[in-house]
Structure 1
Amino acid sequence: MKTKFLKTVLPAIVLMLAVASAFAFKNVEGKALLAPEIGWVNLEGSPCEVPVMCDNNPALNVICKTIVNNQVHQAFGKPFPGSMSCITVLYRMPMN
């Protein structure tokens, strides 16, 4: 009796567990893309010159900036590694 019950119910339980875990981890996939990123300051005549730690999370709403030679400059990210242009808008890292 017990074996027959387990043979019929166990596959249904495993299937429900698989579906529930797939939906439970759906949000984790998107959050992995938001991470600290190196921003670069474009100085006159020297694009992507000074590295700055920034974040690529647009929910922070504070543009990543730094002071170079007593002037405030906005830091930009590279669209892909190895790029020579820094045009991606980055945001200031949250203070912990």
Structure 2
Amino acid sequence: MKRNFLKGIMMPAAVVILGVGGAFATTSMSSTKGIADVQGYRYVSQAEPCRAEVMCSNVFNSTICTSGSNQLFGKPTPNAANCDLPLYKIPN
């Protein structure tokens, strides 16, 4: 009797565990895309320290974001005068 009870409860428990794990995995994958893309800026002159160029990513990868031969940087806050945060190329 005890053996039949354990067999009957194991399959539903496994399905519930897989379902909860899948829900957490899909939620975490969709939440990072929106915050990863940021505007990349390049230094021009003292009068114009940050000129907007192309969209980059703030998620670390091995390819630095560039425009031509210029490395692009991000601003720490949207209204900041300086742009000194390293940015990376958006992965395809």
Q: Taking structure 2 as the reference length, what is the TM-score of the superposition? A: 0.61
Could you list the per-position Cα deviations for residues 3-27 of structure 1 after superposition, in whole angstroms to 9, with x for gaps in the alignment? Answer: xxxxxxxxxx9xx78x657744563
Aligned-pair distance for 1:38? 0.6
Query: Distance between the aligned counterparts of 1:81 and 1:74, measured in 2?
Result: 19
Corresponding position of 1:51: 53
Change (3 A) 1:50 1:27: closer
Q: Taking structure 1 as the reference length, what is the TM-score of the superposition? A: 0.59
Alignment of 1:35-50 (within 5 A): 35-45=36-46, 46-50=48-52
Identity of aligned residues (%): 33
Q: Which runs of 5+ in 2 are unaligned?
A: 1-12
- Count how many residue pairs are aligned between Structure 1 and Structure 2: 77
Q: Which runs of 5+ in 1 are unaligned?
A: 1-12
Please say if residues 73 and 87 of structure 2, whose CA atoms lie closer than 8 Å, have aligned partners that are also in contact.
yes
